[in-house]
A = this chain, B = another copy of it.
Amino acid sequence: MRYSETHKAETHAKLVKLAGRALREKGPEGLSVAELMGSAGLTHGGFYAHFKSKDALLAEALQDIFVESNRKLGQMTEGPSPRAALAWFIDSYLSPAHRDKASTGCPIVALNSDLPRQSRRFRAAFDAGVRQLVGNLADRIEASGLADGQRLATLVLATMAGAVVLSRAVTDEGLSDALLASARKNIKAQLGLTDTDEGAAR
């Protein structure tokens, strides 16, 4: 079975994408090499033609997740005014949809408590990703006319991540929704944005 020239690279990319989702759903320990390969329609032995080790895969998958997150944030803020874009980002981050779908959500929420037990490599990728995201968000905040973007961005991201974390932990859905809504309102107020639900909330 000879394959096309791009075939291996395509398989590799597919594995990274699948791993990114499995990583956020099941965590680094829960992601199994055999299961991942199976989900791509392959057998476990082929894994090592693509990655040096499971840890190498995890780091690559995490990098890809952050690249994707930053790309999405960039996309969001292309069209509308900086203020509307910011409101939209906050609404979508603090939406019940984000809470309910960890597999495509923010890695900070999905992976933070696994972090201390992971390899230096993985933690470095995480750190770099967070910095990028904060920097990106800081730019949007300053574009909205606010000073001290870096500090505000860090604070906003921490608050949003904490709110989603807690909203996932709480069993009562009404309470969980209320928490997200009140976080949306609170953060927007702090950024001087009006809470008109311009974005994707609810």
Contact = CB atoms under 8 A, between A and B. Distances in A.
Contacts of A4: none
B169 A183 contact: no
A200 interface: no
A155 B165 CA distance: 12
A36 to B, nearest CB: 16
Nearest to A186: B155
Contact of A165 (B30, B117, B162, B182): B162
Contacts of A25: 116
Contacts of A109: 113
Contacts of A110: 113
B27 A166 contact: no
Given A109-B113, A130-B169, A158 B154 contact: no
Given A123-B171, A158-B166, A171-B124, A102 B116 contact: yes
11 contacts: A26-B117, A29-B30, A30-B117, A108-B165, A110-B113, A131-B170, A157-B162, A158-B159, A158-B166, A159-B163, A161-B165
